[in-house]
Structure 1
Amino acid sequence: MGAIYLVRHGQASFGAANYDELSERGAEQSRLVGFELLRRGVRFTESRSGSLSRQRRTAETALAVLGDGLSAKEDPRWNEYDHVDIARHHAGGAGQDAADPRAYQAVLDTALTGWVRAGADGPCAETWPEFLARVTGALTDLVGALGKGEHGVVFTSGGVIATLCGALIGAPETGLLTLNRVTVNAGISKLVSGRGGVTLLSFNEHPHFEADAAKLLTYR
């Protein structure tokens, strides 16, 4: 039975002028998740990442640790939703404030709820149904690219992972609005693919951020 590992990118630059860059901590998280994948002894035949800088840099760093020459194929369908556009249309807009991330999370929660409720008639450049179709399509294509017993790894974002994991248990909206809030940077979710389709095996694993590495655990 083949498996797909969904890896959330390392910590981005929350509150900075350019959010879409790994922080120093994010780069270290990316290295550690590479060592965690190496420890598991999984041989990957396919790798994907979104086109966002934080996703690509996480992929490059983690795959370099694996050292098998595999590189991630860039596919923008693995990109995160546009949080700026969603907040503007569904929560009056709000900038990221590194000094008060909880306040921004409250705004984002409101915005995402409005985005989902608006459905296909929403005002955003990408509606919730379009986002859902995009990310599920990316997963379907990756599953199709894997041979029997082969494994794939994807470097993507929290909203994508939460939505897909939610969809696999029959509740993509719950995934986005609930699971998304607890995804850790450089956490791992594992899916298995077999005759019965794709099944969620684990969500948000992060043993590589325990004990001495606990100080590297972040959610944004």
Structure 2
Amino acid sequence: MGAIYLVRHGQASFGAADYDQLSERGFEQSIVVGAELKRRGVEFAQARSGSLARQRDTAATALKELGVKVVEDPRWNEYDHVEIARYHAGGVEQGDDSRAYQKALDVALTAWCDAGESGPCLETWPAFLSRVTTAVHELAGALGKGENAVVFTSGGVIATVCGALMGTPAAGLVKLNRVTVNGGITKLISGRGGVTLLSFNEHPHFEAENAGMLTYR
């Protein structure tokens, strides 16, 4: 039985002109993630990342010493939080208060899901759900017996995939997304019965001496 490890990217540049860049802390977190993956001794037959800079840079930094080739696949990209906030939260901007922004984003994400196919965003919730779940099942299908894969992606993608595997994708998106940590590791099992969620948002590598590196946004 093989496994798919979903890794959330390191801390991005919240409040900056370009959010899609790893912060200094984000690069540090990526190094710790790489050390954790190496410690686990898992061999990866497949490695993926979305095409966003924060995802690609996390993958490159984390896998630097593992010698694994990463294939970019935009289906692992995050939803467009700027567009969703524009249409469903009155255009609220990130600003400096991450908690206030998260609260507004939760409202916007709920409205985005409720709008379904008729939503005003370029990518609707059903379209997003379809692309991320298709990416998961396609990757699972590409794994041989006992083979493992690692994917560097984003919190909303991971939350949606986990929610879908539990039968509540929209609830998963909103409720799980807000607690995913930067550099957290989620493990899926792929076998004859399909894909199953085994663990969500593991982050012991950000405890003890690395406790000060734990971030949510």
TM over 0.5: yes
Q: Which residue of 2 aligns with 1:79?
A: 77
Task: Spell out, residue by residue over 1:117-153, the C-alpha distance to the aligned partner (whole angstroms, 9 max, x if none).
Answer: 0001100000000000000111111111110100000
Corresponding residue to 1:183 among 180, 184, 189: 180
Corresponding residue to 1:150 among 125, 140, 147: 147
**Residues 34 and 62 of structure 2 are in contact (CA less than 8 Å); yes or no, is this contact kept in structure 1?**
yes
1:173 lines up with 2:170 in the alignment: yes
Give the percent of matched residue pairs that are identical in Structure 1 and Structure 2.
73
SS in 2 for 1:182: coil
Q: TM-score, normalised by structure 1?
A: 0.97
**Residues 137 and 195 of structure 2 are in contact (CA less than 8 Å); yes or no, is this contact kept in structure 1?**
no
**Residues 192 and 199 of structure 1 are in contact (CA less than 8 Å); yes or no, is this contact kept in structure 2?**
yes
Task: Spell out, residue by residue over 1:159-201, the C-alpha distance to the aligned partner (whole angstroms, 9 max, x if none).
Answer: 0000001111111111101000000000000000111111000
Q: Which residue of 2 aligns with 1:116?
A: 113
Q: Which residue of 1 aligns with 2:200?
A: 203
Residue 94 of structure 1 deviates from its aligned partner by 1.2
SS in 2 for 1:191: strand
Give the Cα separation in 2 of the matches to 1:177 and 1:104: 14
1:56 lines up with 2:53 in the alignment: no
Q: Which residue of 1 aligns with 2:65?
A: 65
Corresponding residue to 2:100 among 78, 95, 103: 103
Task: Spell out, residue by residue over 1:88-133, the C-alpha distance to the aligned partner (whole angstroms, 9 max, x if none).
Answer: 00111111112x1111111101100100000011000000000000
**Which letter maps to 1:30?**
S
Task: Spell out, residue by residue over 1:47-81, the C-alpha distance to the aligned partner (whole angstroms, 9 max, x if none).
Answer: 00000000000000011132xx2121000000000
Q: TM-score, normalised by structure 2?
A: 0.99
Give the Cα separation in 2 of the matches to 1:70 and 1:38: 11
Q: Which runs of 5+ in 1 are unaligned?
A: none
Q: How many pairs are equivalent?
A: 217
**Residues 60 and 71 of structure 1 are in contact (CA less than 8 Å); yes or no, is this contact kept in structure 2?**
no
**Residues 31 and 65 of structure 1 are in contact (CA less than 8 Å); yes or no, is this contact kept in structure 2?**
no
Give the Cα separation in 2 of the matches to 1:141 and 1:197: 11
**Which letter maps to 2:24?**
E
Give the Cα separation in 1 of the matches to 2:52 and 2:166: 27
SS in 1 for 2:178: helix
Q: Which runs of 5+ in 2 are unaligned?
A: none
SS in 2 for 1:165: helix
**Which letter maps to 1:97?**
G
Residue 43 of structure 1 deviates from its aligned partner by 0.2
> What RMSD in Å do the two structures reach over aligned CA positions?
0.6
Give the Cα separation in 1 of the matches to 2:213 and 2:189: 28
- Aligned ranges 1:36-55 → 2 under 5 Å: 36-55=36-55
